[in-house]
């Protein structure tokens, strides 16, 4: 991901969530003179995607996967800011949601996911999802992207 600071190279065999968010948004932030993309707490870069490692700190309830890490996107002198903090994948009935926390710890569903493919290789199960922005996700983007808009695909990598 262009312009990302502090994202180390990670272990591709470590269980993680991999996501490019929205390529046009990332490209826009990267093009700003003061644009910053900062990753911390274990997040690493895989091509144009961010990889959030599985969180081992808390046991997730059934139907949920918890990931650790923070990514902050900032530009326009701090007037534009988006934080992705500790993503969760959560099943809610027939929906699968990707949620993130804000600085206060309040969670919001950012994207609704639809499973598209599952593959097994090298002792890993990779599940790929189409991602569409939720109403709350649109608010996080200050309405720049509308609810239902397609985001970059999400991939979850777990050990088989």
- DSSP letter string, 42-89: T-EEETTEEEEEBP-SSPPPTTEEEB--EEEEEEGGGTEEEEEEEEEE
Rounded to two decimals, the pTM is 0.89
Say which residue the tokens 């309405």 belong to: 143
pLDDT at 3 over 50: no
What would the pLDDT profile of 131-150 be if each residue is shown by its tens digit? 999 999 999 999 999 999 99
DSSP 3-state assignment of 22?
A: coil
How confident is the model over 103-120, as a mean pLDDT?
A: 95
Mean pLDDT of 114-120: 96
Based on DSSP, count helices (H) and strands (E) in the chain, helices before strands. Answer: 2, 12
pLDDT score for 9: 59
């Amino acid at each position: 991901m262009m312009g990302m600071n502090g994202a180390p190279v990670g272990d591709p065999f470590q269980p993680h969530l991999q996501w490019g968010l929205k390529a046009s948004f990332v490209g826009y932030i990267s093009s700003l003179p003061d644009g910053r993309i900062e990753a911390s707490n274990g997040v690493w870069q895989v091509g144009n995607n961010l990889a959030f490692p599985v969180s081992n700190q808390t046991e997730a309830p059934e139907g949920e996967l918890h990931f650790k890490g923070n990514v902050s996107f900032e530009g326009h002198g701090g007037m534009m800011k988006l934080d992705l903090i500790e993503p969760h994948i959560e099943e809610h009935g027939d929906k699968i949601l990707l949620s993130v926390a804000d600085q206060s710890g309040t969670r919001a569903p950012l994207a609704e996911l639809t499973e598209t493919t599952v593959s097994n290789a090298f002792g890993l199960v990779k599940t790929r999802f189409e991602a569409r922005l939720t109403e709350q996700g649109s608010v996080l983007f200050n309405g720049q992207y509308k609810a239902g808009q397609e985001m970059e695909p999400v991939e979850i990598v777990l050990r088989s």
